[in-house]
Structure 1
């Protein structure tokens, strides 16, 4: 059992990672593009002309939603815990969006796809994401704002 995730088993994490890697490899080898979610969302919404065709981006995003739905139908509902002050989610989301733009990509683009290609920029970006995440958790817990 994994603390905080009473129903999760290590094999599930392994299989999930394997499927994420497989999806990224299929996208890279199939159409020559990385499976960075922020770029795919920008393309699917028409906010960007770079990247895969809009229809491919839409299909990928729809597949993520369907996959989540199938997961929920298969395993049932999961416990969702929200922070005590939900209004913090708005500035947090804005900071994540700004960071994604400044870093030229999101965690999936850099962490999954870029690191697998040994991209120096993606390795630095992923290390930055991780350090910022660790620091944020430490600050929130020190301030008594933990969940």
Structure 2
């Protein structure tokens, strides 16, 4: 995280919050990625179009920024591909089990004052802290 600055973090957070608020105000929908993906995979009527547009925007934003001349951060993944795929399945299972993902609960649910989202986000954060502590201090990673 050599490129982290509080200004860029604040700017990114403001853009995410503005986008989530705009989607809620314009379409009455929550910007939870798991729900958007689920709806795009089971298209029904006009809902599928905005969901697909949202997902295309997520996937094309970084390549478009690179084409515009912005330097993208280098990504390194020390895990093997099977481990990454297994982790993806675990995330998907947890998303279904928790009735939403971190973006839906953490960004949109808390902003709406949803008790379920506040609790879910607290569990996400506690789990992340416990995982980092375990990997760094117990397993010595």
Structure 2 portions without partners, runs of 5+: none
Counterpart in the other structure of 1:57:
51
Counterpart in the other structure of 1:11:
7
Counterpart in the other structure of 1:92:
87
Counterpart in the other structure of 1:82:
77
* Whole-angstrom distance in 2 between the partners of 1:7 and 1:106: 26
> In terms of mean alpha carbon deviation, does 59-68 or 125-134 score higher?
59-68
Counterpart in the other structure of 2:99:
104
Please give the TM-score of this superposition, normalised by the length of structure 1: 0.85
* Whole-angstrom distance in 1 between the partners of 2:17 and 2:79: 34
* Whole-angstrom distance in 1 between the partners of 2:58 and 2:80: 28
| Superposed CA offset, 1:4-58 (max 9, x none) | x222321111110000001100110001010000010111111x76xx7001100
Change (3 A) 1:143 1:24: same
Alpha carbons 2:62, 2:72 under 8 Å: kept: no
Are 2:32 and 1:36 aligned? yes
> In terms of mean alpha carbon deviation, does 111-120 or 81-90 score higher?
81-90
Are 2:112 and 1:117 aligned? yes
Please give the TM-score of this superposition, normalised by the length of structure 2: 0.88
- RMSD of equivalent CA atoms: 2.0
* Whole-angstrom distance in 1 between the partners of 2:120 and 2:74: 31
Structure 1 portions without partners, runs of 5+: none
Tell me the matched-pair count: 139
After TM superposition, give the deviation of residue 61 of structure 1 in Å: 0.8
After TM superposition, give the deviation of residue 86 of structure 1 in Å: 4.4
Are 2:130 and 1:135 aligned? yes
* Whole-angstrom distance in 2 between the partners of 1:85 and 1:55: 35
